[in-house]
């Protein structure tokens, strides 16, 4: 058994003629919380989809628990996904099911447990995210932060070995953000799982992750522990960590010379 539960090896992926990843290499050691960071549109979420087998790479491979993801049959892929839990950016809760039913969904689908045990498991998971009292509510009655926590309870309902988080802090207030940070760390440690957090929120992420990959322009531009990266003198890392508007990642989308364009007229 490899020390790394997920390994990304020379991965290239693109669509519609645009190459999003150009030979990416990453490893995710068992038991660690690893963040993938980068600007919007840098292909972070796509990486999660490649790990989950929802997309196939153009080149290279992703290995989960020593199995090459894109070479699996449908059954093999579903077997592999039983080891994973994923928190989607906006929760992706089933809107026709209550909070309780949402968390019970994967348990009912994959086990034959009696209803009393399903209830115990669901309440255990909801208690872990602090929402046991909200089990009767419908997803439309939840705030963004609560929905994210219910989705987290659902993602860990079957005690997965890998938990993937897609932008878990997007749109959350500072209190909810702190709650989610603590939950990611505590759930990871109590389940003995490996967490992969895709985000661009530097300060929250640096406070609880073990290792960070920075992705830009389709390649890994920097990696290391949060302390390494805080003290890094690489221009991209410096710009990202300190939130500078201009730098290696330009403020302006590529365009022709503004002065010449103005002189030429308004034929945009």
Which residues sit at the interface with another protein, rule CB under 8 A? 52, 54, 78-79, 81-82, 84-86, 88-90, 92-95, 105-106, 109-110, 151, 154
Q: Can you point out the beta strands (E) in 81-228? A: 84-87, 162-166, 194-199, 211-216, 219-224
Identify which of residues 95 and 136 has a Cβ nearer to another protein in the complex. 95
**Minimum Å distance from CB 96 to another protein?**
9
Nearer Cβ to another protein (146/237)? 146
Strands (E), the chain: 4-15, 18-29, 33-37, 59-64, 67-68, 84-87, 162-166, 194-199, 211-216, 219-224
Nearest CA-CA partner of 142 in 106, 177, 93: 93
Q: How far is the CB of 122 from another protein (least distance, A)?
A: 15
| C-beta of 108 vs 230, nearer to another protein | 108
**Closer to another protein by Cβ: residue 8 or 202:** 8
Minimum CB–partner distance for residue 171 and another protein (Å): 15
Q: Nearest distance from residue 54's CB to another protein, in Å?
A: 6
CB of 80 to another protein, least distance (A): 8
User: Among 157, 120, 153, which residue's Cα sits nearest to residue 137?
Assistant: 153
153 or 221: CB nearest another protein: 153
- Tokens at 268, concatenated: 């945009």
C-beta separation of 84 from 52 below 8 A: yes
3-state secondary structure of 78: helix
């Amino acid at each position: 058994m490899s020390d790394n539960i997920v390994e990304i090896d020379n991965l290239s992926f693109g669509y519609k003629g645009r190459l999003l990843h150009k030979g990416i290499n990453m490893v995710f050691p068992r038991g660690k919380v690893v963040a993938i960071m980068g600007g919007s549109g840098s292909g972070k979420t796509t990486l999660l989809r490649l790990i989950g087998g929802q997309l196939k790479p153009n080149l290279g491979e992703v290995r989960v628990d020593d199995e090459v993801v894109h070479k699996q049959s449908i059954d093999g892929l579903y077997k592999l996904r039983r080891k994973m839990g994923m928190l989607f950016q906006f929760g992706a809760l089933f809107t026709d099911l209550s909070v309780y039913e949402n968390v019970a969904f994967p348990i009912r689908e994959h086990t034959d447990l009696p209803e009393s045990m399903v209830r115990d498991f669901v309440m255990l998971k909801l208690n872990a995210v602090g929402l046991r009292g909200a089990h009767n509510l419908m997803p439309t009655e939840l705030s963004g932060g609560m929905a994210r926590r219910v989705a987290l309870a659902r993602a860990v309902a079957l005690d997965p070995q890998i938990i993937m988080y897609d932008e878990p802090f997007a749109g959350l207030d500072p209190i909810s953000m702190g709650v989610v940070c603590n939950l990611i760390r505590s759930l990871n440690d109590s389940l003995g799982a490996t967490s992969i957090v895709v985000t661009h929120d530097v300060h929250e992420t640096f406070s609880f992750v073990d290792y960070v990959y920075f992705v830009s322009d389709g390649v890994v531009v920097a990696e290391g522990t949060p302390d390494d990266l805080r003290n890094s003198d690489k221009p991209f890392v410096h710009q990202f960590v300190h939130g500078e508007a201009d730098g290696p990642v330009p403020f302006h989308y590529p365009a022709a010379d503004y002065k010449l364009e103005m002189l030429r007229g308004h034929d945009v």
